[in-house]
Structure 1
Amino acid sequence: MPLFNIQIAIFLLITVSIALLTYLKCRDAAKSNDHSTAGDNKEVFLAGGSLSWVFVAGSITLTNLSTDQLVGMNGNQMALLAWWEFAAVAGLIFLAKVFLPLYYRYNCTTTTELLEKRYNNHHIRALIGVLFLLGNIFIFIPAMLYGGSLFMKTLFGLDASIIVIATIFGLTGAAYAVFGGLRAVAISDAYSGILLLGMGILVVILALMAIDFDFSGIPTERLTMIGGNDTPIPWHTLLTGMLFIQIFYWSTNQTITQRAMASPTVEEGQKGVMAAAAIRLLIVPPIIVLPGIVSYKLYGDIGDAAYGRIVADVLPVWLSGAFAAAIAAAVLTSVNSILNSSTALYVCDIHEKYVGTSPNVPKLNKIITVAFVVIGLLLVPVYATADSIINLVQELYGLLSMPILSAFIVGLLFNDVDARAAIIAVIFGVVLYAFFSFVWMPIHYIHLMFVTLWSCVSVAILVSRFGFGTRPAFVGFAGFKRLGTE
């Protein structure tokens, strides 16, 4: 059998095996007998509250570790990008210790539900839900579809166009999200995670062996962890916006927190989150930077094509099919995770509030999933023109991330803030960061995220006090203990 056919055979065998194992696990899982709208929401979006800490950890890891990470971060070909992963540990600890107990205490299906209950206003919940949806549709889905397609094309030297490969990814990911809900998504994540992390570590070892563990000849700026002003992560940004970016992404982002909210108890969810934090600290950083650095020594500055090329060169041909299956799994799990969380946001935050209180959740899940995949595919050619996937994603998401986080900070750390003031502040933040991004960027975008965040918080407090006549009072972190009794 020709080697290419062996690759394809191994790829298909592993891919089908993961799907079969996921089906068997989902079939054996006890489903809720509650067929009300609330019951449907819990089953489709929170796996019936059945996820053990193992599946929580695996799903959180794989939801984030997709081709925008593997391809994008290795595409920078420098060690500095590992700071995204080290800082992520702080965001996950914040989720486990601060936010997750609140989500469970309030019995939330979406993170935005916490805002509704804190502000006693469903309009702010809907606004934040819409912003999350915009980020998922226009940023994350197309970026992941493009990154996965580029990797497959580079690895196998395929003649197929990027859009054709992306369509296959999109349709398969949609099938998981539609037919299995979060349970199927999380279970497939956990199985795929073992494969991807194992193969990722193997690539790191083989890449280092390819240069005899010799980093000589690689410029110092590619190896340093202290970034200068002209690098993707200047060292001083670690003191301003970096921590808040991580708190937003890991603690308030529905796509991530949904997994931790799907455990039977808060303690089980916390165990899964802390296990995911350990994986990010110990395993993920070398996977997302070392192959790129080695590729710089071997091929020079080749950008986002670096990871696919180094994998194709260092892996035995028969193993490349297994690695392709791992990458395919990473793309699929990330895409179907975002699709499932997007449907949750639309159904719970928008449809039930403004369209109908008793929607057909499974039917809506199908319609929304298909629509979002189509939009994501239409945007794939736009991302194909980017110099760096990961840098583009981070910069664009600043339009939404800091304004959204400001609503959580104000709602949780202050009493008596008018919801209308928080809404005005969020809209102000989107406009402010858009101005910074597209008109005037005086300092690094991570610093500007920090500026945007605290500008939004200030606007919310001032508008509430002088525009709506309330008296906002800072309660601080001590107020978290009282939130459940208010």
Structure 2
Amino acid sequence: MKTLDTLDWVCIAIYFLILIGIAVWVIRKKQNNTEDYFLAGRNVGWFVVGASIFASNIGSEHVVGLAGAGAGDKLPMLIYEIHAWVVLMLGWVFLPFYARSGVFTMPEFLEKRFDARSRWILSVFSIIAYVLTKISVTIYAGGIVVSALLGIDFWTGAIATVVLTGVYTILGGMRAVVYTEALQAVILVVGAAALTFIGLDHVGGWSEIKQTVTPEYLNMWRSASDPDFPWPSLVITSTIVGIWYWCTDQYIVQRALTAKNIKEGRRGTIFGALLKLLPVFLFLVPGIIALTLKMKGELHWDSPDEAFPVLMSNLLPSGLRGLVAAGLLAALMSSLASVFNSCSTLFTVDIYKKLRPNTPEKKLVRTGQIATVITVIIGIIWIPIMANISGVLYEYLQKVQTYISPPIAAVFLLGIFYKRINSQGAFVTLIAGFVVGALRLIMELGKSSLDPDGFFFKMADMNFLTFGAWFFLFCVIIAIVTSLLTKAPSAEKVKNLTFGTVTEEEKANNKNSYSTIDIIVSLAIVAVVIGIMIFFNGK
């Protein structure tokens, strides 16, 4: 690892001064009500929405973990990064229903479609899931990046970044988050693109990579009997996780809800989908380049998760190295800022406001700020536990998400596509799903103490992708059977919130919210996704 020089530090300083300037400008604007603090006043344009969706998704766990997947023979994990087509589903399928309902949060939507029980379950579970996965994983990955780049202690780097991010999120709210994310997305893309091009040139081009690591290594499609990544299970489970993450999770959907109208929101998701095609080239390919250089004896790292920072520090020239370092710090801060704001929104709107409905707007904003402070503190406390994670970080993240997503994805999909699903079906599915997901996680952790011939060992030992596919089917069956055995939902509960119940006026409004260009760009994005799937087939 080469240390940063004076020019690098100058670039980092300029970047942070611009970031502080944007945050101060935003903080000085009016934020006396919850809509302004949590959804940036619902008047954000498509460019900022799309950039914010991308920047929220691409955190340091992607930079560290996805490059690690490329460097550590985990190429099938690439399928999670070509979910641009799922992002399009958010804009084309889900967003019109969310926008029509006028909700702030995803649990609030479940209450409108089902009842308060579903809202409470999703609110509480989402906050716990954020703290245990998103916040902790991002801080852990950020600690690796910051300590490697700045040559400082892991704890100092991690805590300093968390506190700095927490300050501007607490003061600026959602508006500060989305506008700073727009800048961070640009920095991250420019910096990582430079590393990819310089890396390809240094290694001698793609053909040289292919020859060194062998074509078989570059195949994302393993056989159906592969013990790690059987392709049918990989396709099904990654899609379920994708729908949960991109179309139903507060963390991402909140960005689309900040838009001025459905038209801007949908265009924001199309732009976000376009940007979502970039991680393959910005992070996965550098990981493969780092592996190629290691095999040639030109680079050394101990863990695949170190591939990106080591490649960056050795290949990039002075100044540009500082810019990419700023981009990596931006990625970390962006992800943390997003999840901090989402946690405070869920707590304030879905829990506190429900318990105290007459609370003034100013006090609700203050409550959101306090909730963010508490989230920051819990995130810091969780660092030592996360520091025990070993292996490829990205795979760990997808495993945990596989156990979380099926019940939520099933309830949202069925709730929108099948009007017969009622509140009882949603409630039973969410409860049963969360119990099964938690059991699988506990059994997997304690697998060594289980009877190798017993049912629980087989459950714990089942490939996580195969488990995810069967788990989703189990949730769908529970939702449908429970709903059909109980009373059908009232007309009020489904009007404008499910397919087949949308009024002619709303259909006309939706039709006027997109153009031919929106359709052409969306189809082009789907074509590129198919192209990437064909390209990485090991031939």
Deviations 1:336-395 (A, max 9, x none): 111111111111111111244425122212211111111112222232222121111111
2:381 is the alignment partner of 1:378: yes
What residue in structure 2 maps to residue 67 of structure 1?
Answer: 60
Please tell me whether the aligned partners of residues 416 and 470 of structure 1 are also in contact (alpha carbons under 8 angstroms). no
1:470 equivalent in structure 2: 487
- Which letter does structure 1 place at the counterpart of 2:194? L
Choose the corresponding residue for 1:177, options 169, 172, 177: 169
Residue 392 of structure 1 corresponds to 396
Match of 1:313 in 2: 314
Cα-to-partner distance string for 1:245-284 (whole Å, 9 max, x where unaligned): 1111111111111111111111001001101111212x22
Other-structure match for 2:523: none
Aligned residue identity for 1:201:
A
Structure 2 match to 1:148:
142
Q: 1:459 aligns with which of 478, 482, 487?
A: 478
TM-score, normalised on structure 2? Answer: 0.81
Alignment of 1:345-356 (within 5 A): 345-356=346-357
Q: Take 2:191 and 2:119, find their aligned partners in 1: how far apart are those partners?
A: 40
Q: Name the amino acid aligned to 1:448.
A: F
2:353–2:364 Cα contact (<8 Å) kept: no
Counterpart mapping for 1:120-269 below 5 A: 121-156=115-150, 158-160=151-153, 162-213=154-205, 214-215=208-209, 216-228=211-223, 230=226, 233-269=229-265
Shift, 1:405, TM fit:
1.6
State TM-score, norm by structure 1: 0.90
Q: Quick one: which amino acid aligns to residue 388 of structure 1?
A: V
Question: What's the RMSD between the two structures over aligned residues?
Answer: 2.5
Query: What amino acid is aligned across from residue 376 of structure 2 in structure 1?
Result: V
Deviation for aligned residue 1:172: 1.2
Alignment deviations for residues 388-447 of structure 1 (CA, whole Å, 9 cap, x no partner):
211111111233211212221232233354423422221211222333344324543223
Gaps of 5+ in 2: 296-301, 444-458, 507-539
Alpha-carbon distance between aligned partners in 2 of 1:171 and 1:82, rounded to the nearest angstrom: 32
Would you say the 8 A contact 1:42–1:48 is kept in 2?
Answer: yes
Query: Any idea what the Cα deviations from partners look like across 1:428-477, whole Å, max 9, x if unmatched?
Result: 112223333443245432232222222122212323444xx32589x9x9
**8 Å contact from structure 1 (residues 418, 470) kept in 2:** yes
Q: 1:329 to 1:305 in 2, by over 3 A?
A: same
The structural deviation recorded for 1:60 is 0.5
Separation (CA, whole Å) in 2 of partners of 1:244 and 1:336: 25
Task: Determine the C-alpha separation between the residues in 1 that align with 2:325 and 2:437.
Answer: 38
- The verdict on how the C-alpha distance between 1:165 and 1:159 changes in structure 2, with shifts beyond 3 A counting, is closer
2:299: which partner in 1?
none
- 2:89 counterpart of 1:97: no
Q: Percent identity?
A: 25
- What do residues 220-264 of structure 1 show as CA deviations (whole Å, max 9, x unaligned)? 443112235557643223442221211111111111111111111
| Partner-residue secondary structure (3-state), 1:108 | coil
**Corresponding letter in the other structure for 1:333:** S
Aligned partners of 1:41 and 1:109 also within 8 Å: no
Moved over 6 A (4+): none
Distance 2:252 2:4 in 1: 38
Q: In the aligned structure 2, how far is the partner of 1:234 from the partner of 1:193? A: 33
Instruction: Give the whole-Å Cα distance in 2 for the aligned partners of 1:251 and 1:367.
Output: 28
- Of the three residues 381, 400, 405, the one matched with 1:401 is 405
Gaps of 5+ in 1: none
Structure 2 distance, partners of 1:305, 1:380, is 18
Greater shift in the superposed pair: 180-189 or 75-84? 75-84
* 1:444 pairs with one of 434, 459, 463: 463
CA distance in 1, matches of 2:227, 2:193: 26
In the alignment, residue 236 of structure 1 is paired with which amino acid? Answer: P
CA distance in 1, matches of 2:382, 2:357: 31
Indicate the residue corresponding to 2:305 in structure 1: 304
